[in-house]
Amino acid sequence: MRVALGLEYDGAAYAGWQTQPQGNTVQDALELALAEIAGAPVRVTCAGRTDAGVHAAAQVVHFDAPAARPENAWVRGVNAHLPDSIAVRWSREVTDEFHARFSARSRSYRYLLHNHAVRPALLHGRVGWFHLPLDIGAMHAGAVLLQGERDFSAFRAAGCQARSPVKTLHRAEVSRHGDCIVFDFRASAFLHHMVRNMVGALVYVGKGAHPPEWIGDLVASRDRSLAAPTFSPHGLYLSGVEYEARWQLPMNGRIIAPFDPLAF
């Protein structure tokens, strides 16, 4: 029996999603908790791997259960064995055709940036921070130049293992909410560090180091060395994964409110 789960987690304390020899990953914690309920080892596959310090509001995984359990056991039962920073939000039985990664039509990320002269304390580890004033209009104009099918080599990490740097970015928007700047991206798939590298470049535009057109020049250059440094992981959230309606999964995205500590 194949089961799909929806997860959320605070990634600040973890070495990323994917299991590693030294442990301390979200996948490790989830598989240990699932094994307690299944009565046997369980291996999970996720929709999108997140790096160290990156969060998820709507991660999706699937696994093949070695034993039948009530649907609620995969939620409340598993949560009883998970650390407080990880929670299963929902579970669904699916057919063997479903694959959390390959069945996904798109993935969405949201980056929250605290734009204030003083660093935040209550939101430490949950938001990025930049101290100088930023021009939101210029940043949004630059973000628009990222949309469409592009070669994103200029925003690709050196260790990226993707077969191709060409991805289709369906959404790239920047908006301000008081001291919070929100970056929203949706694509078929993302390269390693791609979102954080795009945010870094847009911050350069926002502080006046380059005009918005520089973003288009970076894309055309395909040269990572010409772009801005990789931005902090702390404000990055996997905010949604889109699947076909036939899978009848619950709502795949959650609204991550900009800068209200109570919303976290």
Judged against a pLDDT cut of 90, whether residue 209 lies above it is answered with yes
Which residue is catalytic, options 28, 51, 179, 217? Answer: 51
- Domain 2-103 coded CATH 3.30.70.580: yes
Could you tell me the pLDDT band of residue 257, with boundaries at 50, 70 and 90?
low
Six-digit token pair at 63?
């696994």
Check: pTM over 0.85? Answer yes or no: yes
CATH 3.30.70.580 in the chain, residue ranges: 2-103
Q: pLDDT for 107-164, tens place per residue?
A: 999 999 999 999 999 899 999 999 999 999 999 999 999 999 999 999 999 888 888 9
Which CATH fold would you assign to the domain 106-238?
Answer: Alpha-Beta Plaits (3.30.70)
How far is Cα 25 from Cα 13, in angstroms, rounded to an integer?
A: 9
- d(CA 91, CA 21) in angstroms, rounded, equals 28
- Interval 11-40 mean pLDDT: 94
How does DSSP assign 191-244, residue by residue?
A: -TTHHHHHHHHHHHHHTTSS-THHHHHHHHHT-GGGSPPPPPSTTEEEEEEE--
Is 51 catalytic? The answer is yes
Q: How far apart are CA 50 and CA 182, in angstroms?
A: 19
Task: Give the CA radius of gyration of the chain.
Answer: 19
CATH 3.30.70.660 residue spans of the chain = 106-238
Q: What is the pLDDT of residues 29-72, one digit of tens each?
A: 999 999 999 999 999 999 999 999 999 999 999 999 998 999 88
Beta-ladder partners of 56: 9, 238
Report the alpha-carbon distance of residue 1 to residue 163 in Å, rounded. 31
Strands 180-187, 2-9: pairing kind: unpaired
